[in-house]
Amino acid sequence: MDAPSARDALPGEASCPICLEYFRDPVSIHCGHHFCRSCIERCWEWPTAGFACPRCRDTAPERSLRPSRELARVLEIARRLSRGEALGTGEEEEEGCQKHREPLEVFCKEDGALLCAICRESRAHRSHTVLPVPEVVREYQGQIQAQLQTLKDDRDKIQEFREAEMRRSWEYLEKTEVERQRILSQFQGLHLSLEEHSRHLLARLGDLERDIGKVQEENVTSLTKEISRLDARIQELEEKCRQPARTFLQDINGTLSRLVKENLQLPLSPLPELEKKIHHFREENTLLEETLRSFQGIGSRLGDEAMNFIDFIIYINCSYCIYYICLCLLHDYYIIITYTCNHYISLLRVYAVFYCDYFYCYFFYCNYFLIANL
């Protein structure tokens, strides 16, 4: 039982795992597995991230093919053994009929047995279809060859399909890498844009702080002078009230008229204008917080598959009024998210974008034109 088992195992061990035939010009690769040179070269026609073994998927950065001379000699011995087994089978067939010791010249198709001339005339085979051995061999060989050709065609189709699938897999891997780089580039650009906007807002806030400090200093100086003048006038009038009656009544009418003319007029404060600027900053920060929260929630509301990518984000500073516009591709529609100081639109479904330049964006939404003045 050991010898037939070894003969049965020999074709599998001496066959290429790609074409499933005996090795032709066998070579070994980096992981030690063996393949036909032509088979492994076809598999490595579309490498992207190294050279992977089709059997164990181990990857090497460089291509390495080493001829397997020892395996080639073993294959030659295997072929000789296969031819020797075929000859042995033919010799056994030529031994003749074991019952009559006559040559086996015909074949019974019903019983599937080789017969001699005496067996052919026996009652057991007299009514059966019996044909000469060469004719039966040609008939059955034709059937087997037809099936063999079908199997080879099927194998070729599967090999072509496998190679096509490998090409598509490499293409898809390349496309995923392109999308990865696009995502990194888009979010890097978004990060830089947000940093620039942050620097712009902080610079304006610094200017506002300096304006407040300057106004505070000017107010303190002017109001301190006015307080000093009023203190001097109060002291003057208090001294006059302590004068004797004769001296007190001298030029009393002039003193009273000057008091009427000195009716207090408070200076116009610049602080309300600064308060408006602070209010604008507070509104911008609130809108920025809402924008960030909306971006965080868009993915959960629409799903990762719905939001394929962010086309662009624009912010324009226009007299302390910030417009945030975000166009996101959702299947065949566009989603526009717009934030302004006095207007908030969330998740508008826009069917087409007709025109967009630096000053105006025209959108067609539900049979209406939306004009966003930037």
For the record, the structure tokens of 6 come out as: 């070894």
> What's phi and psi for 107, nearest 5 deg?
-135, 130
> What's phi and psi for 160, nearest 5 deg?
-65, -40
**Bridge partners of 344?**
339
pLDDT score of 172 more than 60: yes
| C-alpha distance from residue 177 to each of 58, 188, 190 (Å) | 20, 16, 20
Q: What is the mean pLDDT of residues 27-49?
A: 82
What's the chain's length in residues? 374
pLDDT, the chain, mean:
70
Q: What is the mean pLDDT of residues 349-361?
A: 33
Rounded Cα distance between 173 and 171, Å, is: 5
For the record, the structure tokens of 19 come out as: 């074409």
Q: What is the CATH number of domain 1-92?
A: 3.30.40.10
Count of H-run helices and E-run strands, the chain: 8, 15
Question: First-to-last CA distance in the chain?
Answer: 89
- Radius of gyration in angstroms for the set of CA atoms belonging to the chain, rounded to a whole number: 50
Domain ranges of the chain: 1-92, 287-374
The b-or-e profile of 272-301 (16+ CB within 10 A means b, else e) is: eebeebeebeebbeebbeebeebbeebeee
pLDDT in tens, 52-108: 888 888 888 888 888 887 787 777 777 666 655 444 444 444 467 787 778 888 888
User: What crossing angle do the helices spanning 252-261 and 133-241 adopt, rounded to 10°?
Assistant: 170
For the record, the structure tokens of 136 come out as: 């039966």
pLDDT in tens, 199-248: 888 888 898 889 888 888 888 888 888 888 888 888 888 888 888 888 87
Rounded Cα distance between 287 and 279, Å, is: 12
DSSP annotation of 120 reads H
**Residue 360 has what pLDDT?**
33
Least confident of 107-116, 249-258, 265-274: 265-274
